[in-house]
């Protein structure tokens, strides 16, 4: 069912953010038809939105006629200097490189930023460029192993988060609340989060927390790769060893 054609003054802006959330959360560029199916907006509405978003550089239209995020928001962030996650990733770069050499997968660092996860310090082989693309822009927390891990370890109530986020994301995008609760409990027991991509089941992300002086994780290190080429048991063990060393070193330095 299509949305009511009568729009409030802020409705176009809300729709633009819904579209941007879908594009940023996808592991691949999306065509206009794919975006329309996911957000349930008429193509005529999307045509107008995409023209504006393309004009300002928020999205880029590729030769394949698919869309991916542009550098508009990155340029805005650059004006303010390095972000917290960028500074943190630089501080632990030697550990990230060591992990990258051991697991032969995409490696990155993520932190919460409102209802999204921002990544930095991403390392990857050329054949994993498609996977690494997902780490270039902020990702909705529920679509990220890092996001779920950090939410599970924070003091924020997961029900309140789900209710707040449901008002922003497209219908059907959020994980079932009871399933999310069970997943948070599992993360609490194992200390790691493992998540397959919603849009590409062959992609998997594993995340483990880094603690800075208290019981609430400040950041997480993520490893991502193709399911067929990723030994989850080995990756998880190596990842936990790495974040343990990082946490110990940061504690000594502090």
Domains of the chain: 11-75 (1.10.10.10), 82-253 (3.30.450.40)
Is 191's pLDDT higher than 60?
yes
pTM: 0.65
DSSP 53-118: HHHTTSEEE-TTSEEEE-SHHHHHHHHT---HHHHHHHHTHHHHHHHHHHH-SEEEEEEEETTEEE
Model confidence at 3, pLDDT cuts 50, 70, 90, reads very low
Are 208 and 191 in contact, with CB atoms under 8 Å apart?
yes
Are 111 and 218 in contact, with CB atoms under 8 Å apart?
yes
Torsion angle of C-alpha atoms 165, 166, 169, 174, degrees rounded to 10: 100
Is 152's pLDDT higher than 70?
yes
User: Tokens standing for 218?
Assistant: 């400040």
Spell out where the chain has E strands: 30-31, 59-61, 66-69, 106-113, 116-123, 139-140, 193-196, 203-211, 217-226
Residue 46's alpha-carbon distances to 2, 162, 224, in angstroms, are 13, 27, 31
Is 242's pLDDT higher than 90?
yes
Are 100 and 69 in contact, with CB atoms under 8 Å apart?
no
Residue range 199-223, pLDDT digits in tens: 667 889 999 999 876 677 888 999 9
Residue range 39-68, pLDDT digits in tens: 888 888 888 889 888 887 888 888 888 888
Are 252 and 239 in contact, with CB atoms under 8 Å apart?
no
Residue range 154-177, pLDDT digits in tens: 644 445 455 444 443 444 444 556
**Lowest-pLDDT range, 8-12, 104-108, 112-116, 138-142?**
8-12
Residue range 60-109, pLDDT digits in tens: 888 888 888 876 666 655 545 557 788 888 889 999 999 999 999 999 99
Are 118 and 111 in contact, with CB atoms under 8 Å apart?
yes
């Amino acid at each position: 069912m299509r949305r009511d054609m009568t729009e409030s003054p802020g409705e176009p802006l809300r729709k633009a953010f819904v579209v941007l959330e879908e594009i940023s959360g996808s592991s691949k560029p999306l065509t206009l038809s794919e975006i329309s199916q996911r957000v349930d907006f008429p193509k005529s509405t999307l045509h107008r939105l995409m023209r504006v978003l393309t004009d300002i550089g928020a999205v880029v239209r590729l030769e394949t006629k698919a869309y991916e995020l542009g550098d508009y928001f990155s340029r805005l962030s650059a004006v303010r200097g390095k972000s917290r996650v960028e500074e943190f990733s630089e501080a632990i770069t030697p550990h990230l490189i060591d992990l990258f050499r051991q697991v032969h997968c995409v490696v990155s660092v993520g932190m919460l930023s409102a209802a999204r996860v921002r990544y930095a310090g991403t390392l990857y082989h050329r054949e994993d460029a498609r996977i690494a693309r997902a780490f270039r822009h902020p990702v909705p927390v529920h679509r990220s192993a890092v996001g779920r891990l950090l939410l599970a370890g924070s003091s924020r109530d997961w029900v309140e988060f789900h209710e707040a986020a449901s008002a922003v994301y497209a219908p059907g995008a959020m994980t079932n609340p009871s399933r999310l609760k069970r997943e948070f409990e599992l993360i609490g027991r194992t200390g790691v989060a493992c998540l397959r991509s919603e849009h590409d089941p062959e992609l998997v992300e594993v995340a483990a927390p880094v603690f800075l002086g208290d019981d609430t994780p400040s950041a997480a290190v993520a490893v991502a790769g193709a399911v067929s080429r990723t030994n989850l048991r080995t990756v998880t063990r190596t990842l936990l060893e790495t974040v343990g060393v990082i946490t110990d070193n940061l504690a000594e330095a502090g």
